[in-house]
Amino acid sequence: MAYLSEDLRQQILAYIPRYPSKQAVTLPALHIVHDAMRCVSHEAIREIAEMLDLSPAQVHDTMTFYQFFREENAPLGQTRLWVCRSLACGLRGGDALLETFCEKLHVEPGGTTKDGKITLEFAECLGACEGAPAVMVNDEHRHCVTAEKVDALIGELS
């Protein structure tokens, strides 16, 4: 019995003609599954491997190379909140901002709030230096976020 829905399978298979090899579809396949399920389970890894003629170890190696993907024992919350720790953000209070988020959410970086609403992460760079310190809420950049703005942002996300 298939773990992935037929829709997810079709989305993955649709990438195959666009790439020079099936192996090159590994990253898009992981993104498709992760976006839909908020994690990538062992069953999903096995099915992706079968579709792409790879071993599960090859798919898992690709997945764990990137900080972006979460395994099934630590799925993402409804919202993924990234705090930038680049040099520019650090110089403008990024490290203290991360500490403030940790205190207010009662989680460490990489953790998810008990209600499953927010997963707090840090990124080495969000590419938003002009708006340091920056955070990213799912796919949306927020610039010039200060400790004084943390409560309002958490309230918006809860």
pLDDT per residue as tens digits for the range 32-80: 999 999 899 999 999 999 999 999 999 999 999 987 898 988 888 999 9
- For domain 79-157, the question of CATH label 3.30.70.870 is answered with no
Token code pair at residue 134: 């920056």
pTM: 0.76
Q: How many CA atoms lie within 13 A of 53 on its CB side?
A: 5
Q: What's the average model confidence in pLDDT over 103-132?
A: 94
Q: What is the pLDDT of residue 2?
A: 79
- Is pLDDT at 145 greater than 90 in this prediction? yes
Give the separation between CA 143 and CA 127, rounded to whole angstroms. Answer: 11
DSSP state of 130: G
SS3 of 113, please? coil
